[in-house]
Amino acid sequence: MKVPKRHIFDYIIVGAGSAGCVLAHRLSENPNTRVLLVEAGGEDKHILIQMPAALAIAARHPRFDWAFLGNPEPFCDERRILQHRGKVLGGSSSINGLVANRGNPKDYDAWARKGLPNWSYSHCLEYFKKSETFSDGPNEWRGGSGPQSIERCPATHPLYQAFLRSGEQAGYEITKDQNGARHEGFHVAQSFTRKGSRCSAADAYLHPIRDRDNLTILTHTLTRRILFDDLRAVGIEAQTRGRSRCYEATREVILSAGAIGSPQLLMLSGVGDPAHLRAHDIPIVSDVPAVGKNLEDHPVVPIQYSTPDGLSISHRFRGFRPLGIGLKWMLFKSGLGTSLMSEAGCFFRSSEEVEYADIQHEFYPLTAQMGSQDANFDDGFMFSMGLMRPNSRGQVSLRSADPSIYPSIVYNYFASERDRKVMINGLRLTREMAKQKAFDGLRRHEVAPGSDVKSEKEILAWLRSNVSSEYHPCSTCRMGAGDNSVTNGEGFVHETEGLRIVDASIMPHNVTANLNAPVIMIAEKISDMILGRLPPQPTNQR
């Protein structure tokens, strides 16, 4: 492959999402290292992205969202699940719900027990700390000088306060920092914001270093395939506004296209299950049968209650009121425009048999149809209940050898009987929370699923007809050894050379958290591996 010198780089990073922004920042710190960052979407400086309260609109805007529509779900009434993924600088960190959670230490210790000893929580903690500046200041758990801003939400609305008190009244603990010494319990949320605005991975890692001479950023550029010399990745073929070019990588090609995009690009490039590749007439480079398999996601359902008139914040988004919210935010970076709408939450156990919390609530002082293609708010309050460690597994596969055709996605929500039981138990425990005295005078009646939905059969039917994604897909290129994995503990793709993946697809299993903070940590950690830096000593806080 002969390409112009200006198209030759040391590292090519595909995808400017959370991981890609971290990698671009860290790998370009050496001025003698040439880095190319390729993004299919465009620029992120837009009010819908920067104003936290506009998150539901940003996530559904065709300019910023891939809007992957899955296949009919076999265990969910053949419904097709919509998956919002960021197609913009910052990736999904530019359109997500802004909630900052790391997960439970036991999540990462489970990775270590699966043959990845350097991925225990004690090995990851320093990278979480390195990545962040926490508004409460640094301590043994938290960072105070990292690029990524994380702030504690105010949570002053009466419904947030009622939610927190209801947890105590129902017998749960209040944790002061769910990303610190205690993960489990009710908490005030933490957000990826800085002084009233969204702080995406692009804001934190990319924009401050965009003027580096050794960093080239291509937007509106779709990577069509990875180029190989035998088993070695040596570059990419990419298309910018209809024109294709080849770019050479002298050291590594790094995929950071996410749990859907990275396996799709591997398969388009000839890395995957040979039978599947032959079905699409794709020449086989490497036999890696697990590519696209083992898809995990957090299924979520909205448990909703009505409230007295004027209590829910939904009325503030009607008529001309949003104009006032937007104006106050633009002028002063204050008011409701700074809110992520879910300023309180909890992690709790679905039963006493569970080792640690396996259900998450994000609490909203309004209601919404979460899986809808349109942003929508209504009166009431809502527990957004997510299953954190599902047993069900899905798959990403090709529909076509054309890179512009979205892949086939099936999640298989509720394929596992255990998952069904956990969510049924979670709903019953949530109803107990909502019955507490803290909500007296603030709650009227149960709207969804409704008090008439009582038996296991009725609850399961409601779950199947109302479940949607919490937008946390992962594990389609999971780290490990053997045929059920795609990458090793450093992100290198099996049976290839010079090719890594750094994004949520390499997570061995999902974690008890929203995924942005874990992905940033993963990228920080693998950046050190790429650069040959010694990792910090493991920290054993528990």
Q: What is the spatial distance between Cα 482 and Cα 480, in angstroms, rounded to a whole number?
A: 7
3-state DSSP of 289-309: CCCCEEEECCEEEEEEECCCC
> 190: number of CA atoms within 13 Å, CB side?
25
Residue 416 structure tokens = 């596992």
Amino acid, single-letter form, for residue 403: P
* Angle in degrees, CA 206, 208, 212, rounded to 5: 85
Secondary structure class of 517 (helix, strand, coil): helix
Task: Give yes or no: 61 in active site.
Answer: no
- 266 closest CA partner among 1, 500, 88, 522: 500
Number of Cα atoms under 13 Å in the Cβ half of residue 61 = 21
Q: Do the strands 468-469 and 299-305 form a parallel or antiparallel pair, or are they unpaired?
A: antiparallel
346 in helix, strand or coil?
A: strand
Hey, how many other C-beta atoms are within 10 angstroms of the C-beta on 452?
7
- Determine the Cα–Cα distance for residues 502 and 155; give it in Å rounded to an integer: 34
Measure the CA–CA gap between 441 and 395, rounded to whole angstroms: 46
Nearest Cα neighbor of 12 from 255, 361, 185 is 255
Q: Which of 61, 472, 494, 509 is catalytic?
A: 472
Interaxial angle between packed helices 456-466 and 417-434, expressed in degrees from 0 to 180 and rounded to the nearest 10: 100
DSSP string, 10-31: EEEEE--SHHHHHHHHHHTTST
The helix or strand, by DSSP H or E, that contains position 188, with its residue range, turns out to be strand 185-188
Catalytic residues: 472
